[in-house]
Structure 1
Amino acid sequence: MYKLRGHHLFCLLGYRGMGYSREYVQNMTHIHQTLRRNPKTWIQLVSGPDQLCEKYPNSGDYHCQGTHIYNRDAIILEKLGLKIGQILKWEDIESVIHKHAVPSDIQIVCESCSWRSYGVCEEGIQDVLDNKGLREVK
């Protein structure tokens, strides 16, 4: 079972192998590919730093504890109708995203995210809407 925070549900959809450091990318790729290959993997929704944050580079201000990040988590969980502490399969998270999200949501809920300009998260939501699931990371 993986522990994930709210905004990482959208980050995983848009993940294309880029990240903050080599160690972060390796960790994110491992989790992403596990979920892609086995959508029945259990996820527990947590408040604050999760298993992706564990590998965030220690380079001063700890991004994962920022108030704006907690706010983004809360907004995304509310949008999806999910709650902290819930345990569900990744395929169920994709189903919830399919029901409650559209690509243009990224422009609003992830407005301050530095990765937003790449457009990959919108593509990731569209892939879920098209029942394609997570993309293969090459």
Structure 2
Amino acid sequence: MYMLRGHHLFCLLGYRGMGYSQEYVENMTYLHHTLRNNPKTRIQLVKGPDQLCEKYPNSGEYHCQNDNIYERDAAVLEKLGLTIGQTLTWSDIESLIQKSIVPSDIQVVCESCSWRSYGVCEEGVQEILDGKRLREVK
């Protein structure tokens, strides 16, 4: 089981192998592969830093505790109808995304995210809406 904060559910949709450091990318890629290959993997929703934040590099600002990140977590969970402490499978999360999210939601929910300008999260949402799984990342 993985412990994930709210906004990382959306980050996984847009993940294309880019990240803050090599260690962060390796960790994110491993999780992404796990969820892609085994959508029955269980996720517990947590408040604050999670298993992806653990590998955030210690150089620069540690944004994982910033208020705007907590607000983004809450907004994602609200859109999906989820709460902190809930445990569900990745396939359950994908089903909720199909029922509750449209690509343009990324522009609002993730407005302050530095990765938003790449457009990959909107693509990831659309792929889930089209019935595809997480995109393969090498």
Please confirm whether the aligned pair reaches a TM-score higher than 0.5, indicating the same fold.
yes
Distance in 2, Cα, partners of 1:30 & 1:60 = 24
Aligned position for 1:118: 118
How far does residue 59 in structure 1 lie from its aligned partner after superposition? 1.6
How far does residue 80 in structure 1 lie from its aligned partner after superposition? 0.7
Task: Name the SS for the 1:103 alignment partner.
Answer: coil
Q: Deviations over 1:68-100 (max 9, x none)?
A: 000000011001100000000000000001100
How far does residue 15 in structure 1 lie from its aligned partner after superposition? 0.1
What TM-score, normalized to structure 1? 0.99
Distance in 1, Cα, partners of 2:40 & 2:90 = 6
Aligned position for 1:131: 131
Q: Could you tell me the percent identity over the aligned residues?
A: 78
Gaps of 5+ in 1: none
Aligned position for 2:54: 54
Aligned position for 1:101: 101
How far does residue 133 in structure 1 lie from its aligned partner after superposition? 1.4
Letter in 1 for 2:80: L
1:67-106 alignment to 2 at 5 Å? 67-106=67-106
How far does residue 62 in structure 1 lie from its aligned partner after superposition? 1.4
Aligned position for 2:16: 16
Letter in 1 for 2:10: F
Gaps of 5+ in 2: none
Distance in 1, Cα, partners of 2:57 & 2:64 = 10
What TM-score, normalized to structure 2? 0.99
Runs of 4+ in 1 over 4 A off after TM superposition: none
1:36-55 alignment to 2 at 5 Å? 36-55=36-55
